[in-house]
Structure 1
Amino acid sequence: MLFPQIRLESTFAQTELAIRKPIQEIQQPKAEMTFEQPKAELTIDRTPSRLSIDQTKAREDMDLKSVGRRIEEAAQQGYQDWLEGLARVAQDGNEMMRIEHGGSAIARQAKRNSEGPQDQFNIGWTPSHFSVKIDYDPGKVEIRFKENRPNIQVQTNKPIHEYTPGSTEVNLAKYQSLKIDFENLRHVGTGGYEQTI
């Protein structure tokens, strides 16, 4: 015996998602920096050293005199000799004026005028000690230094930020469905009428 059957076949609806991702762009411009370093200032004041050597006395000790010095010495010696000669002549004249008192003045004068001064000799140094005079001034050096600090200027730049938000679209990819099927289903009407559904 065949029983009537009703068959139902259904499918669910299906959705689809269209996703657009967000876009984010960040740019960081570099900072702008200016840097200046002024030069340091250095001043040096120098008084040069001075060395003076006077060897006039040493040269005179070695009889290496200048012409001016020789003329000066000759003039002084001539004046001294003139004074000594004048004194000698005056002394001789005084002795001759008193010749009547006796004492043989002529013999004494002759002996005195014929003998020269006695030469003297002693150990000496040529040139003499400390005859070269040295004078030394070491001079001075004064250093002044001034440092200048660097001049730094920095300008920061803000980041550039661009953002595009994402989106999601929901669509129906497949609609739901319901399929009904009958099996062994009959309709019996009046008068013996029968029909298969």
Structure 2
Amino acid sequence: MQLPQIRIESQPVIVNIHTNDAIQEIEQPQADVQIRQPQAELNIETRKGKLTIDQTQAWEDMKLYSPLRSIEIFAQEGKQAWLEGIARRAQEGNQLMKIENGGNAIANIAYQKVKPETLNYNIGWIPSHFSVKINYEPGDVEIQAQPREPVINITPQKPIISYKPGSVTYQLEQYPDVKIDFVNLTNAGIGFETTI
């Protein structure tokens, strides 16, 4: 026994699709920024250092006196010499007063006036050590700074956006098709065709 046969032929659909991409452009202008920096307030107060040099003793060690000091010293030396002169004359008077006791008083007085003076010499420094007095008072600096905040103004700019939409086009190139053949082998030549 032979069974009938079915023959099916199909044709797929063919679609041609064309696309155009969308275009988007974004431009961002720079923001407007203004910055102003006020100057800081700066206050500086200084006190000068003080240097004092006293070389009075050094000058006096070299026998160089100021006018007032020289008057004072010479007055003291004159008074001392005057007192020594009075004492010497009193002593000489006493010696002469007792001339009758012998002892050659006039010759002794004359010798004392002309005898060589004994000089004492020793190694020393003129002026003496540390005769110059130095005193220093350091200065001082006081700094006061008052900072100032910067003044910032910002104006933002909106972005510039342009958009061009894309598109899709399509075209049907081939329609779908299905062919069905039914063949009965017992009755040759009998059949039908169906198209969908």
TM-score by length of 2: 0.51
For the pair shown, which has the larger CA radius of gyration, 1 or 2?
A: 1
Which residue in the other structure is 2:24 paired with? none
Q: CA deviation at 1:98?
A: 3.4
Q: Distance in 1 between matches of 2:67 and 2:115?
A: 32
Which residue in the other structure is 2:74 paired with? 74
Q: Distance in 2 between matches of 1:138 and 1:70?
A: 34
Q: Which residue identity lines up with residue 72 of structure 1 in the other structure?
A: E
Is 1:133 aligned to 2:133, yes or no? yes
Alignment of 1:24-35 (within 5 A): none
Number of residue equivalences: 140
Q: Distance in 1 between matches of 2:143 and 2:50?
A: 20
Question: Which stretch shows the higher mean deviation, 65-74 or 43-52?
Answer: 65-74
Q: SS state of the match for residue 39, structure 1? A: coil
Deviant stretches of 4+, over 6 Å? 30-34, 153-157
Is 1:114 aligned to 2:114, yes or no? yes
After superposition, the C-alpha distances for 1:119-159 in whole angstroms (9 at most, x for unaligned) are: 111112233222222222221111122223345577999x9
Q: Which residue identity lines up with residue 74 of structure 1 in the other structure?
A: F
Q: SS state of the match for residue 95, structure 2? A: helix
Is 1:145 aligned to 2:129, yes or no? no
Q: Distance in 2 between matches of 1:58 and 1:137?
A: 22
Identity of aligned residues (%): 50
After superposition, the C-alpha distances for 1:146-174 in whole angstroms (9 at most, x for unaligned) are: 223345577999x9xxxxxxxxxxxxxxx
Q: SS state of the match for residue 42, structure 1? A: strand
Q: CA deviation at 1:83?
A: 1.1
Q: Distance in 2 between matches of 1:117 and 1:84?
A: 16
Q: 1:79–1:116: structure 2 CA closer, same or farther, 3 Å change rule? A: farther
Which residue in the other structure is 1:55 paired with? 55
Q: Distance in 2 between matches of 1:74 and 1:31?
A: 91
Q: Which residue identity lines up with residue 40 of structure 1 in the other structure?
A: A
TM-score by length of 1: 0.51
Q: CA deviation at 1:32?
A: 8.8
Q: Distance in 1 between matches of 2:37 and 2:58?
A: 60
